[in-house]
Structures are given as C-alpha cells and as structure tokens.
C-alpha cells in the first residue's frame, strides 16, 4: 500500500514539472510523451542483434563499433539519439579473458533503442545490487557458467552513458550469413546474462 502512495506522489510531481515546463514555453503540450513514444517505437532487441551480427561478419565494423559505437551505428541505420540529448553508447566485447554484464545500480538506465524495453529483473533491486557484489553467482542463476580463470566486468549505466555487450560468436556458425547470425542473438546476450 505504501508503495502505491509513493508511486502516486512521484507521478504527481512529474506532472507538475511537466506543466511548469510547458507554461514557461520550454516544452510544447505533450512533447515529453511524444519524445518518449518516438524513442521507444523503434526499440527492439532485433536492433542490437543486427549490430552484433554485423560485427561478427565484418572485422572493420567490429573495430569501429568498439572504438566509437555512436559514430558507427548509422552504418546500420541506427542511432542513440531520441531523447533531449544523444546518449553515449559503449559496446564491450566478451572474450576468452573477460565476460561483460550490464547493470544500472541507481535506476534502470538501458539502451532501449538497441535492446527494447528493459526486462523486469533488470530493474529489480535484487539484480541491481547483487550483480555488482557477486556477478558470478548471479550469472550462474541465469544459467551462465563463467570459467574461474575468466574475469567478469560489470558495467554500470548512467543517465548519459549506456552499454551493450558484444557476445562471442558461437562456434560452428562459420557457414551462417548475417541474417541467420542475427537470429541467434538474444536480449539477455546483449546484457551479458546469456552467452549469445
């Protein structure tokens, strides 16, 4: 019950701030909702999967993606724009030496344009606190066993910066084309809670 009261207080505050911004001419009527709708409309894990598959088949694209993801996303028709400011995206690659996993410890910042709406577990306090303290155990609960000699890097998103994991290309997929590879990539793989 108290959670409902807290949520309604926050909603009322948000509506007041929005009304003030509109009154002062800083936002048009309904502009926040319109921008959120525009941003979320194209957000799907299929976008991130396309980026990963391209990186798996094109070493030059992969290098540019890991160097400056924002600059390379337009090559596949995507961007991190959509809000009031462009979000910085850093793509981190899983290797033999390191497995990457994403979190936002303060809230649930997440690259919606590339991964679609965030899963409920990603927003949970349990995930947000435990993956930082004991990532190996949390990953094991998702069915991901990281070898003891492989490090785990936990990337903490913020309001300005987002992350996406570039999973390792599965063995035995050399004969698959880019579209077939895209179909292998999951949202959890892009977060790091699955291998692909």
Distance CA 121, CA 139 (A): 13
Q: Is 129 a catalytic residue?
A: no
Q: Which tens digit of pLDDT belongs to each residue from 47-65?
A: 999 999 999 999 999 999 9
Q: Which domain holds residue 24?
A: 2-38
pLDDT at 82: 63
Catalytic member of 7, 8, 11, 107: 107
- Same-domain pairing of 79 and 60: yes
pLDDT at 92: 98
pLDDT of 9 > 90? The answer is: no
pLDDT of 4 > 50? The answer is: no
Q: Is 104 a catalytic residue?
A: yes
pLDDT category of residue 31 using cuts at 50, 70 and 90? confident
DSSP string, 21-86: HHHTTSS-TTHHHHHHHHHHHT--HHHHHHHHHHHHH-HHHHHHHHH-HHHHGGGGT--S--SSSP
pLDDT at 90: 98
Residue 196 inside a domain? The answer is no
The CATH number given to whatever domain includes residue 83 is: 3.90.330.10
Select the more confidently predicted residue: 15 or 132. 132
User: Whole-structure pTM over 0.95, yes or no?
Assistant: no
Select the more confidently predicted residue: 10 or 174. 174
pLDDT category of residue 22 using cuts at 50, 70 and 90? confident
Q: Which tens digit of pLDDT belongs to each residue from 138-194?
A: 999 999 999 999 999 999 999 889 999 999 999 999 999 999 999 999 999 999 999
pLDDT of 40 > 60? The answer is: no
Crossing angle (nearest 10°) for helices 45-57 and 59-67: 120
Q: Is 124 a catalytic residue?
A: no
Q: Which tens digit of pLDDT belongs to each residue from 93-149?
A: 999 999 999 999 988 788 988 999 889 999 999 999 999 999 999 999 999 999 999
- Same-domain pairing of 71 and 89: yes
Q: How many domains does the chain have?
A: 2
- Same-domain pairing of 65 and 83: yes
Residue 64 inside a domain? The answer is yes
- Same-domain pairing of 13 and 95: no
Q: Is 109 a catalytic residue?
A: yes
Average model confidence (pLDDT) across the chain = 89
């Amino acid at each position: 019950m108290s959670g409902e009261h807290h949520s309604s207080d926050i909603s009322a505050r948000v509506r007041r701030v929005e009304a003030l911004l509109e009154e002062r001419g800083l936002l048009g009527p309904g502009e926040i909702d319109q921008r959120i709708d525009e941003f979320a409309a194209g957000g799907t894990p299929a976008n991130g999967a396309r980026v990963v598959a391209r990186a798996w088949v094109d070493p030059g694209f992969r290098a540019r993606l890991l160097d400056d993801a924002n600059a390379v996303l337009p090559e596949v028709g995507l961007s991190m724009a959509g809000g009031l400011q462009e979000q910085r995206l850093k793509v981190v690659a899983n290797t033999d030496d390191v497995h990457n996993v994403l979190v936002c410890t303060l809230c649930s910042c997440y690259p919606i344009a590339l991964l679609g709406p965030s899963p409920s577990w990603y927003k949970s306090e349990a995930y947000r606190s435990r993956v930082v303290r004991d990532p190996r155990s949390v990953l094991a609960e998702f069915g991901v066993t990281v070898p003891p000699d492989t490090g785990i890097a936990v990337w903490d998103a913020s309001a300005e910066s987002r992350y996406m994991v570039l999973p390792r290309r599965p063995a035995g997929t050399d004969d698959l084309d880019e579209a077939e590879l895209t179909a292998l990539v999951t949202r959890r793989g892009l977060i790091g809670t699955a291998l692909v």
